[in-house]
Structure 1
Amino acid sequence: MPARVRSTNLASPKPEPGGKPYATGIDKRPVPSIEVFAPGPSYGDGPGVVADHVGDEQHHGGAHKAVYAYAREELDHWERELSRGLSDGTFGENLTTEGIDLEALLVNQRIRVGDDVVLEVSVARTPCSTFAGHLGERGWLRRFTERGRCGVYLRVVAPGTVRAGDAVEVLEPPDHDVDMRVAFAAAMGDDEAAARVVAAGCLPRMYHDRLAARLRARG
């Protein structure tokens, strides 16, 4: 199957399931297209998708988490595992993809979407209590982590309109071999993976420093 955007999704804000004092944007619903742009560097600068919603501004939004993509193939896997339907956007993704192994993309890998939009693989999604509460599945954070398929956060390099059905083209790779599976394992506590990521120097400074400090602390 050619790599493509199956669905473009925007938040349908709802109360944060753990009772936190904000509406969460994790529940996203398909729309015909979305407009993507590069927001400011900080989480509080908001998402890189026009009319999307970020509730937890301490951990979401900003240039390195401008757009989130997740594969339909993985949603299909979890439908089988959980014995329930999962519509496009259920995992909070702005882009539901088909025909591309997102976690095999290298950190800082660029992809072209449609004719004009260029996105860049940024950092791993780390599952949180809002995600667990949204799905309502026992042991969800552990199960999601063990699967090792976190999707990808993306920076916006060239802004524009992304439409359902747009082709996805993987562009020239960066000069390291750290893919999103390794980056996710590192973020979730795997020190061997963290050492690879730190050695590659491929993450934004804050994320790099966090992993380097953890490795130093563990001797």
Structure 2
Amino acid sequence: MNNNPLNSGTVLSLNMGGSEATPVRGPGVTGIGKRPVDHPVTVRRPGPKTTGLHSGVIGDFIGDTKHHGGDDQAVYAYAAEDYDWWSAELGRPLEPGLFGENLTTRGLNLFDAVLGEKWQVGDEVVLETTFGRVPCTTFQNRMGEPRWIKRFAASNRTGAYLRILQEGSISPGARIEVIDRPAHGLTLSEAFRIYMHAPAELPRLLVADALPPSIRTKIESRSSTAAR
């Protein structure tokens, strides 16, 4: 373990969800209703998004396997500090797991996390940030807030999707250490802002090796079309 982490925090809450019905058009079921657990969980690479094991957390359910899960979205983390910000904005308390995250973190600055930085979680697991979370109608339905999709996207407080570089067990309260941070310096919040709101800047995202291949392909296709 790195004795001089670039940033550190803890797993404030470890959250998992089962299958629940949803009125949102699509698969008809969702796993967004995640709740804290008081026991260790095992994480492993789930494989391709639509044909693999879906969630990277064993025992966790994903309903919309077209848009969620797979190796590049194996684990989702959201910061307690960003929950605090949203709680003030919405005027109500927000409990860990409400946003459907597997890891509620405390002490990590996810707003300024760099795309492709690596986290040591506990003694075994190593995760890598891949991108922010694009909000969907299932998320909006869960929150019950007007224009939630637009509000969440505009905030750039997207949390972090993570791929699993080293499998193993994570316990509630585990220490998280940022053990590597790419020199390109492109943060998750800036990358998300560009992807959602600044199409002319999309080529800037290509500096990040950790960018999911599906997003890289989409950007390269758009850039090629624009150059014609």
Range class of TM-score, shorter chain: over 0.9
- TM-score, normalised via structure 2 length: 0.89
What do residues 21-44 of structure 1 show as CA deviations (whole Å, max 9, x unaligned)?
421011110002321111113344
The 10-residue stretch of structure 1 (1-10 or 195-204) with the greater mean CA deviation from structure 2: 195-204
What do residues 188-216 of structure 1 show as CA deviations (whole Å, max 9, x unaligned)?
13225422102445413221111222334
Task: Find the counterpart in structure 1 of residue 219 from structure 2.
Answer: 211
Task: Find the counterpart in structure 2 of residue 26 from structure 1.
Answer: 32
Kept in 2, the 8 Å contact 1:182–1:197? The answer is: no
Where does the alignment leave 5 or more consecutive residues of structure 1 unmatched? none
The 10-residue stretch of structure 1 (133-142 or 206-215) with the greater mean CA deviation from structure 2: 206-215
Kept in 1, the 8 Å contact 2:122–2:174? The answer is: yes
Letter aligned with residue 144 of structure 1: F
CA distance in 2, matches of 1:94, 1:112: 16
Task: Find the counterpart in structure 1 of residue 15 from structure 2.
Answer: 9
Is the aligned partner of 1:85 residue 2:93?
A: yes
Matches within 5 A, 1:1-219: 3-32=9-38, 33-45=40-52, 46-219=54-227
Q: CA separation of 1:44/1:92 partners in 2, compared to 1, >3 Å: closer, same or farther?
A: farther
Extract structure 1 runs of 4+ deviating beyond 3 A. 199-202, 215-219
Q: CA separation of 1:149/1:67 partners in 2, compared to 1, >3 Å: closer, same or farther?
A: same
Letter aligned with residue 41 of structure 2: I
CA distance in 1, matches of 2:210, 2:173: 31
Percent of aligned positions that are identical: 38
Kept in 2, the 8 Å contact 1:12–1:29? The answer is: no
- The alpha-carbon deviation at position 57 of structure 1 amounts to 0.9
CA distance in 2, matches of 1:2, 1:200: 22
CA distance in 2, matches of 1:202, 1:65: 12
- TM-score, normalised via structure 1 length: 0.92
Where does the alignment leave 5 or more consecutive residues of structure 2 unmatched? 1-6
Say how many residue pairs are matched. Answer: 219
Letter aligned with residue 28 of structure 2: Y
Compute the RMSD of aligned alpha carbons.
1.9
SS at match of 1:68: strand
CA distance in 2, matches of 1:138, 1:216: 37
Letter aligned with residue 79 of structure 1: S
Kept in 1, the 8 Å contact 2:8–2:178? The answer is: no
Kept in 1, the 8 Å contact 2:45–2:167? The answer is: yes
- The alpha-carbon deviation at position 125 of structure 1 amounts to 1.0
